[in-house]
Amino acid sequence: MGKIIDGKAIAAGLYDQMRQEVEQMEVQYGRRPGLTVIIVGEDPASQVYVRNKEVNAKKVGLVSEVIRMPEQTTQDELLAVIARLNADTTVDGILVQLPVPKHIDKDAVIAAVAPDKDVDGFFGMKSGFTLKHGYVAPCTPRACIHLIKTTGETIEGKHALVVGRGELVGKPVATLLLNENATVTIAHSRTRNLGEIARTADIIIAAVGKPKIITGEMVKPGAILIDVGINRDENGKLCGDIAFDSAEPVAGWITPVPGGVGPMTIAMLIRNTLDCYLKHVK
């Protein structure tokens, strides 16, 4: 039976740790880390995500601000706000909630955020996630790596299979696994014999957005399974990319959906903000 990797509990422990760090930062450097989130429009899912980010940022004691802009905001107006925040030395992290309205060029907005304040990790994704140079990794891929490490198992030398080649999770998490000295395979919609490949993997990160594409018969006994997928099954029930009921008895470790990767993603956003802050004050 696989052990459950409880992302919610792990995130709660991280928040406690980061709250203590923030208190020490204020004493040592004279200010707390600052995170500003910009949301344009009224997309309901985005509103929920932003509220969750705001709550958790305040939970650890960040100076947190949410700038809410109307749907009709022009690209120039949004870029002007980003430029102002780039120049504000009390702001360590800037996050523009996606999606933005269709009349705004998403890539231009992402490019406008100062690389050393890009807590979403878009710039870091292109530069190889070198925190040494002031850039952080994207939140969800970083969350995946952290969850694997909580098992106590080593990543180095293991065969890791990433199912999904998306720009936001698949490709960056593959790079992070390589940075940890794993041997990495990326599978996708055109991959043949996915089951055969999966059965050789010590670690599977499923991030393709297809309900239950990884079944128990495709899992190597004792493997670590990280499920990034958020889907609805044939009964309308929330499920991941991994068929939990059949995979859990075979796996060594497995994340549930919900309660696995999701809670950790926002925790990694806060962690990224603290890392950017430390680069600014040191």
What ranges in 42-74 are assigned the alpha helix state H? Answer: 44-59
Per the DSSP assignment, residues forming a β-bridge with 254 are: 4, 225
Whether 17 is catalytic is: no
Active site residue 120: yes
Cβ-contact 227, 241 below 8 angstroms:
yes
Q: Identify the H or E element spanning 227.
A: strand 224-227
What's the chain's length in residues? 282
Residues 6+ positions from 111 with CB-CB distance below 8 Å: none
Out of 120, 202, 241, 275, the active site residue is 120
Distance CA 216, CA 243 (A): 7
What is the rounded CA–CA span in Å between residue 141 and residue 174? 8
Whether the Cβ atoms of residue 175 and residue 169 lie closer than 8 Å to each other: no
92, 97, 118, 220: the catalytic one is 97
DSSP 8-class letter at 131: G
75 is catalytic: no
What whole-number distance in Å separates Cα of residue 71 and Cα of residue 246? 44
CA geometry: angle 107, 97, 225, nearest 5 deg: 95
User: Catalytic site residues?
Assistant: 53, 97, 120
